[in-house]
Copies of this chain bind each other. A is one copy, B any other.
Amino acid sequence: MDGPAAGGARGRSTEDVRRHNLRALLGLVHTRGGATRAEVTRELGLNRSTTGTLVGALVEAGLLVEQAPVDQAPGRVGRPSLEVRPRDGGAEVLAGYVDVHAVQVVRVGLGGVVRGRRTVATPAPPSPERAAEVLAGAAAALLAESPPGLLAGVGVAVPGLVRAGDGVIAHAPNLDWRDVPLAALVTTALEDATGHRLRVDVANDADLGLLAEHRRGAAAGLTDVVYLCGTHGLGGGVLTGGHPLTGHRGYAGEVGHVSVDPDGRACRCGSRGCWESETLAAAWAEPFGLDGDAPDLADLVLARLAAGGVVSRRTRDKLSRAFARGLANIVHLFDPQAVVLGEGLWHRLWPEVREDVMPWVDRLVMPAMRAGVSVRTSALGEGSTVLGAAELALTPLLEDPLGPLAVDRERAPAVLRA
């Protein structure tokens, strides 16, 4: 990121500088949850009067408030230093996660505060139309609880290849979707369900989990990270040199579809022996005689592991080793500071299998590359993906806080303002 007071690379006007500084200020408050004027002044390298003007503009716009810090020590002597915080009932977004067995929707305010959450189970992988309808219904129910201030947009996470530029889902193997214009479907369904036409952005679930963990979770402050997630499919999001790895069309980072065994089982992607098919749902379900499509597969596997026995031991050893081989591949490919296990099967199993996996990682990674790489679980737990979708939806507002309501009017001309 550029220094807070610096403009872009192509010359700058007073207005550019102001926009840049507003962005830096709102970003700081959003990431941190709150900051005093003195902290803002110091950390953004501004002078005090500039900070005052910028805070005033964002307060006036209804995005921030200034108030005594919530954790002000009682009995403290002297006037409390006011804290700049997101305004309750200020800017919010809706975020959804369409997965194989459920559609999640959350309502999230600036500052990352979750204001409501719905999860709707879908017995079979939903069709695109069904997914949009379920998502819109849950969103309408959440909005009915209390009117939002500024509804800045909608973000949707999907386990699949999402094309950069137009957000079309080129292929989602585990949903069996191809060439789905999901943003358009969700926009229409939301308009039907809520009466509001909102901007909808769609992205890959792992890329969004990474975004959330990078903004306020297990990857905060890091520049080189690989994020993994999923139970029935293994998604990957990669941060390299501080930038998300997107590839030419936005499809990069499909670490689950690295083929690691020429004699392995058939994968839903059409290949064979992928890291996904060798270490995720089917691979765990088969030896235990479980249904690989079961929504609660992680619980079932954990119960089998707890029960112990020969099958349990053999399965744990074999899959721990296979997972470690994939982790070693990731280290060799990306030289990361950390691999983050986000929501999904391996995140759930990790406390149980960590001690089996890590010695293999130590053994398989070239020693020069092994040192300094940590494997850790996500800090946001099972919620990182949908929180990442919320961060996606907030991005236009964060980029241009006093811009055209952070809305691309071509795509979604109306927004809700109290």
Q: Which residues of A contact B (CB under 8 A)?
A: 2-3, 6-11, 161, 170-171, 173, 178, 223-224, 240-241, 243, 245-255, 257-263, 269-271, 321-322, 325, 328-329, 332-337, 363-369, 372
Tell me how far the C-beta of A335 lies from the nearest C-beta in chain B, rounded to whole angstroms: 2
Interchain CA distance A270-B368 in the complex, whole Å: 12
Majority DSSP secondary structure for residues of A touching B: loop
The answer to whether B178 and A337 have CB atoms under 8 Å apart is no
The answer to whether B11 and A369 have CB atoms under 8 Å apart is no
The answer to whether B246 and A243 have CB atoms under 8 Å apart is no
Tell me how far the C-beta of A4 lies from the nearest C-beta in chain B, rounded to whole angstroms: 11
Interchain CA distance A167-B73 in the complex, whole Å: 51
- What residues on B are CB-neighbors of A3 within 8 Å? 9-10
8 pairs across A/B with beta carbons < 8 Å? A171-B366, A171-B369, A247-B335, A249-B369, A254-B332, A258-B258, A270-B366, A271-B364
Pick the contact of A251 from B259, B262, B271, B335 — CB < 8 Å? Answer: B335
- What residues on B are CB-neighbors of A171 within 8 Å? 366-369
List the 7 closest A-B pairs by CB distance, nearest first.
A247-B335, A170-B368, A252-B335, A171-B368, A254-B332, A224-B248, A251-B335
- What residues on B are CB-neighbors of A259 within 8 Å? 260, 325, 328-329, 364
Chain B residue, CB-CB nearest to A179: B368
- Having A7-B11, A259-B325, one finds 14 other A-B pairs with CB under 8 Å, namely A170-B368, A171-B369, A224-B247, A240-B252, A247-B335, A249-B372, A252-B333, A252-B335, A253-B333, A257-B329, A260-B262, A262-B322, A270-B366, A271-B364
- What residues on B are CB-neighbors of A243 within 8 Å? 241, 243
Interchain CA distance A243-B243 in the complex, whole Å: 10
What is the oligomeric copy number?
2
The answer to whether A2 and B9 have CB atoms under 8 Å apart is yes
- What residues on B are CB-neighbors of A9 within 8 Å? 2-3, 6-9
Interchain CA distance A382-B250 in the complex, whole Å: 32
Chain B residue, CB-CB nearest to A318: B262
The answer to whether B11 and A250 have CB atoms under 8 Å apart is no
- What residues on B are CB-neighbors of A161 within 8 Å? 366, 368-369
Chain B residue, CB-CB nearest to A178: B368
Tell me how far the C-beta of A8 lies from the nearest C-beta in chain B, rounded to whole angstroms: 7
Pick the contact of A332 from B246, B257, B322, B336 — CB < 8 Å? Answer: B257
Pick the contact of A6 from B10, B245, B364, B366 — CB < 8 Å? Answer: B10
Tell me how far the C-beta of A278 lies from the nearest C-beta in chain B, rounded to whole angstroms: 9
Tell me how far the C-beta of A209 lies from the nearest C-beta in chain B, rounded to whole angstroms: 18
Chain B residue, CB-CB nearest to A325: B259
Pick the contact of A366 from B7, B241, B269 — CB < 8 Å? Answer: B269
- What residues on B are CB-neighbors of A322 within 8 Å? 262
Chain B residue, CB-CB nearest to A222: B248
Chain B residue, CB-CB nearest to A264: B262
- What residues on B are CB-neighbors of A263 within 8 Å? 263
Tell me how far the C-beta of A219 lies from the nearest C-beta in chain B, rounded to whole angstroms: 12
Whether A258 contacts B372 in the complex (CB less than 8 A), given A2-B9, A245-B240, A271-B328, comes out as no
- What residues on B are CB-neighbors of A257 within 8 Å? 329, 332, 366
Tell me how far the C-beta of A224 lies from the nearest C-beta in chain B, rounded to whole angstroms: 4
Interchain CA distance A261-B273 in the complex, whole Å: 9
Tell me how far the C-beta of A149 lies from the nearest C-beta in chain B, rounded to whole angstroms: 33
Interchain CA distance A245-B253 in the complex, whole Å: 13
- What residues on B are CB-neighbors of A368 within 8 Å? 161, 170-171, 178, 251
The answer to whether A255 and B333 have CB atoms under 8 Å apart is yes
- What residues on B are CB-neighbors of A262 within 8 Å? 260-261, 321-322, 325
The answer to whether B241 and A246 have CB atoms under 8 Å apart is yes
Tell me how far the C-beta of A247 lies from the nearest C-beta in chain B, rounded to whole angstroms: 2
Interchain CA distance A241-B10 in the complex, whole Å: 20
Chain B residue, CB-CB nearest to A364: B271
The answer to whether A248 and B6 have CB atoms under 8 Å apart is no
Interchain CA distance A336-B246 in the complex, whole Å: 10
